[in-house]
């Protein structure tokens, strides 16, 4: 089963501020959705709280796994609302006690605390790099330069240059794939 870390980082390696992401790029969200759809996403409890607050639901079409030391409390809070194939809680960063879809890729999607624990054991790292600084107070655990071999894959232009981002005059982001284990993917 392929383990992938996926993150968007700003110029200073920032990933979040006060529990939320301080930028809004529809194209990057679309990219995230396209890459993760049909697969498993794993996130820390802080990231889940921020996401659930905004979306009012787990991300659809994906098994959402939340890492927390309060797994029992969260399970009872969400009991009967979603099947385990959509949302579950565990205190194991490797999700050893979760029934995973063996065909699915596992995307570790934040935040900083989770990235730090998992970065040395993933097969791939997908990074969206933003050109600006966003005054973050949560950071990616490592300098991207130290991650290993870098690939810039082909990404459809509709994903990287969305109409709304262009109209807003915002910088496009750069999407990069790192292969810390020197895995051959193309
Ligand atoms: N830019 C991006 O791509 C991106 C992606 C995702 C998130 N973010 C941002 O990152 C920030 C959140 O990151 P964060 O580092 O503060 O928090 P986080 O990694 O989302 O969550 C940390 C929490 O996860 C739980 N946890 C982590 N490892 C655990 C383990 N081994 N065992 C049990 N529980 C564990 C703990 O929850 P309990 O306290 O419940 O035990 C811990 O407090 C937010 O601002 C968010 O918007 C950015």
Nearest-atom index, ligand 1, CA of 47: 20
| Ligand 1 centroid – CA 105 distance (Å) | 20
For the chain, give the mean pLDDT: 86
Encode 20-58: b = buried (16+ Cβ within 10 Å), e = exposed. ebbbebebbeebbeebbeebbbbbbbbbbbbbbeeeeeb
Instruction: Please give the order of strands across the beta sheet that includes 124-129.
Output: 87-90, 63-67, 40-44, 106-108, 3-9, 124-129, 174-179, 149-151
Rounded to two decimals, the pTM is 0.92
The per-residue pLDDT for range 80-105, each reduced to its tens digit, is 899 999 999 999 999 999 999 989 99
**21 has pLDDT over 50:** yes
Nearest-atom index, ligand 1, CA of 136: 45
**155 has pLDDT over 80:** no
> 3-179 belongs to which CATH class?
alpha beta
Average pLDDT over residues 66-77: 97
Domain ranges of the chain: 3-179
| Ligand 1 centroid – CA 5 distance (Å) | 13
Nearest-atom index, ligand 1, CA of 114: 19
User: Which pLDDT score, from 0 to 100, does residue 150 have?
Assistant: 76
Most informative mutation of 111, 126, 133, 140 for ligand 1 (most atoms within 8 A of CB): 111
| Ligand 1 centroid – CA 49 distance (Å) | 9
The per-residue pLDDT for range 24-59, each reduced to its tens digit, is 888 788 889 989 999 999 999 999 999 999 999 999
Lowest mean pLDDT among 62-76, 147-161, 162-176: 162-176
| Ligand 1 centroid – CA 166 distance (Å) | 31
């Amino acid at each position: 089963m392929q383990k992938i870390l996926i993150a968007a980082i700003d110029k200073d390696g920032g990933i979040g501020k006060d529990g939320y992401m301080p930028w809004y790029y529809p194209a990057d969200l679309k990219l995230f959705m396209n890459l993760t759809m049909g697969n498993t996403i794993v996130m820390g409890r802080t990231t889940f709280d921020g996401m659930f607050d905004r979306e009012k639901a787990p991300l659809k079409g994906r098994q959402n796994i939340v890492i927390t030391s309060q797994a029992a409390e969260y399970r009872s809070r969400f009991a009967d609302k979603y099947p385990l194939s959509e949302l579950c809680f565990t205190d194991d960063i490797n999700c050893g006690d979760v029934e995973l879809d063996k065909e699915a890729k596992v995307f570790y999607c934040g935040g900083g605390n989770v990235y730090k624990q998992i970065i040395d054991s993933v097969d791939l790292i997908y990074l969206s790099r933003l050109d600006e600084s966003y005054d973050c107070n949560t950071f990616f655990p490592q300098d991207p330069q130290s991650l290993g071999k870098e690939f810039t894959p082909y990404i459809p232009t509709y994903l990287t240059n969305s109409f709304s981002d262009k109209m807003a005059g915002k910088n496009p982001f750069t999407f990069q794939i790192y292969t810390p284990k020197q895995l051959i993917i193309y």
